[in-house]
Amino acid sequence: MLELRSITAGYARNAPVVRDVSLTVASGESVGLLGPSGCGKSTLARVAALLHRPDSGTLLLDGEPVRRWRHRAPREKRTAFGVVFQQARLSADPRLALTDLIAEPLRATGRGAEVPGRIAELAPTVGLTPDLLTRRPHEVSDGQLQRACLARALALRPRLLVCDEMTAMLDASTAAALVAAVEDYRAATGAALLAVGHDRALLGRWCDRTVQWDSLA
Amino acid sequence: MDSMPPVLSVRGLSVRFLMPGGRRVAAVTDARFDVAPGECLALIGESGCGKSVLASALLGLLPGNAQTAGSALLGDLDLLTAGERTLARTVRGRLIGLVPQSPAAHLTPVRTVRSQLEETVATLTTTRGRAALRAAAEAAAERAAFPADHLDRHPHQLSGGLAQRAATALALVGDAPLLLADEPTTGLDRDLVDRTADELRRHVDDPGEGGRGRALLMITHDLAAAERIADRVAVMYAGRIVELADAAAFFGSPGPRHPYSRGLLQALPDRAFTPIPGMPPELGDLPAGCAFAARCDRATDTCATEPPPGTVACHHPHVPEDVRA
Ligand SMILES: Nc1ncnc2c1ncn2[C@@H]1O[C@H](COP(=O)(O)OP(=O)(O)OP(=O)(O)O)[C@@H](O)[C@H]1O
Ligand code: SF4
Ligand SMILES: [Mg+2]
């Protein structure tokens, strides 16, 4: 369903951090992308989730080339993706209570009416208790915040989840619980997964197949 | 070494957050542990269990709505009652070196690593003069294995691993008797985790000037890093230290004794990869007795009463025999 062809991307024109990388995720498939610190795998994950425009290369979603990135991407393409990053704190608006954080994508797409029902479904899925839902990010731990970020990524029922080091800040049990939550969601919906990280044991156990960063270029 | 008094001695440490509406969040309850010179104690436990709050309490960095009880002696100084002036002038950086969880947030973005190191040397030591400061900064970088040819870079020009080393170098400058590392290896790949952990271990193994000994309290989710460098492990659950154990026995044989600790190890991807069932308890509304009871497969009626204090806070801990069976 997602095909990255010869992607080159970076933050300065003359110094790409991703060079000529190709990767395919079939529908319903889970792919683990393994690479060392600083290799550029997070940048590729952002390109794959339409959050970062590549300098060159092609991205096909369901066989159709994507031409616009970020907020310019058409809504039905953007909402096909759910993204969870390593640093929950950098990706969460500090002013929002966790409920509102989770509801953000619903409200942004004019589906505010679904919020109460969806929160009631999502909170137990990711292991958030009611008292936590009313707190703001600085009043919860990293793990509690990451649970909310996963719930936010699932809010619009994405067809592809991109998890960039989702569990790097978490203890072993919380990590296993969040992986189980992702897998329950995938089992129920058939969604595909691109999980990025450097923990071979984790990605090997989690994903259908793992690919090594070095083998992609 | 055994005869030397502990570097840090924590007794009955509790932290409560007062929330709007009069609710109280019991973030840390009755923590008791020592860290000896030359020792690395790893503090592990479920996300949200209170590890970082405990660290903030030691550094006097709790927010205004926090209340503390108990004592935390660093030498003769009680960190919990020390005033902000003492904490700022003699504790942070000098008596306790902090290796922060997110180095990027700890480094000043607009200045090079060299200039930050030199400034820290000037603030925390008696070194004076340009050439001497430069040499001391370079020596600090070397101790943390930060490459000299990257000293003139700004933080955003460093990879996560290098930023971590820069932050570690800064933490080592004051030659503090206690190093406090909160998730020092987050986001690093295995090679860098091992190197960072080994650097911290080396620092503790070196008794430092005057041979008074250094100690390391390392908060971590990375059980492999803890196994690599810790002498002892403290396991925290719902604000309490539920098990204090020798690291080799804990990670190897006979393994942990508290049911929560066993569940934590079994959640590792190279072990069973099964999460502990159920959800972590609300620290604002803890049950009477053992806080783990709702998720514990060994729970009995007795568990509704407070578990006995000691190295394993459990009514029915695993004993070496049933581990072997
Ligand atoms: N300012 C605050 N006000 C109220 N509650 C707080 C505040 N800061 C933290 N807490 C709560 O205290 C508890 C302990 O938080 P802490 O950050 O110490 O967890 P942690 O063990 O370090 O978790 P992690 O492993 O995810 O970093 C959590 O339940 C958290 O929600
Ligand atoms: S005290 Fe009881 S409930 Fe708590 S960990 Fe021990 S056996 Fe389980
Ligand atoms: Mg923490």
Asked whether residue B297 carries a pLDDT value surpassing 90, the answer given is yes
pLDDT of residue B127: 92
A142 → closest Cβ in B47, B270, B282? B47
What pTM was estimated for this model as a whole?
0.88
Mean pLDDT of chain A: 92
Q: Is B298 in the pocket of ligand 2 (CB under 6 A)?
A: yes
**Taking phi first (over 0 means left), then psi (-120 to 50 degrees means alpha), and beta for anything else, what does residue B179 get?**
beta
Q: Considering only alpha carbons, which residue of chain B is nearest residue A176?
A: B275
pLDDT of residue B325: 43
Asked whether residue B225 carries a pLDDT value surpassing 50, the answer given is yes
Q: Is B268 helix (H, G, I), strand (E, B) or coil?
A: coil
For chain B, domain boundaries: 8-85+183-324, 96-175
Q: For residue A55, give the DSSP letter.
A: S
Q: Is B79 in the pocket of ligand 2 (CB under 6 A)?
A: no
Percent of chain B whose pLDDT exceeds 70: 97
Q: Which has the higher per-residue pLDDT, B195 or A33?
A: A33
Per-residue model confidence as pLDDT tens digits over A120-132: 999 988 989 888 9
pLDDT of residue B321: 65
Identify the band that residue A146 occupies on the pLDDT scale cut at 50, 70 and 90.
very high
Per-residue model confidence as pLDDT tens digits over B49-70: 999 999 999 999 999 999 999 9
pLDDT of residue B2: 52
For chain A, domain boundaries: 2-215
Instruction: Compute the distance between CA of residue B320 and CA of residue B325 in angstroms, rounded to an integer.
Output: 9
The helix (run of H) or strand (run of E) holding residue A125 is helix A115-126
Chain A partners within 8 Å of B267 (Cβ): 171-173, 175-177
Q: Among B88-92, B143-147, B151-155, B241-245, name the one with the lowest average pLDDT.
A: B143-147
Give the CATH number of domain B8-85+183-324: 3.40.50.300
Mean pLDDT of chain B: 91
Can you tell me the mean pLDDT for B156-178? 86
Percent of chain A whose pLDDT exceeds 90: 74
Pairing state of beta strands B215-219 and B24-35?
A: unpaired
- Amino acid (one-letter) located at B286: L
Six-digit token string for B95: 């008596």
Residue whose token pair is 């997110």: B102
Q: Among A5-9, B3-7, B35-39, B88-92, name the one with the lowest average pLDDT.
A: B3-7
CATH classification of A2-215 is 3.40.50.300, yes or no?
yes
Identify the band that residue A135 occupies on the pLDDT scale cut at 50, 70 and 90.
very high
Contact B60, B84 (CB under 8 A): yes
Size of interface A-B (CB pairs under 8 A): 96
| Packing angle of the helix pair A172-189, A115-126 (nearest 10 deg) | 130
Identify the band that residue B322 occupies on the pLDDT scale cut at 50, 70 and 90.
low
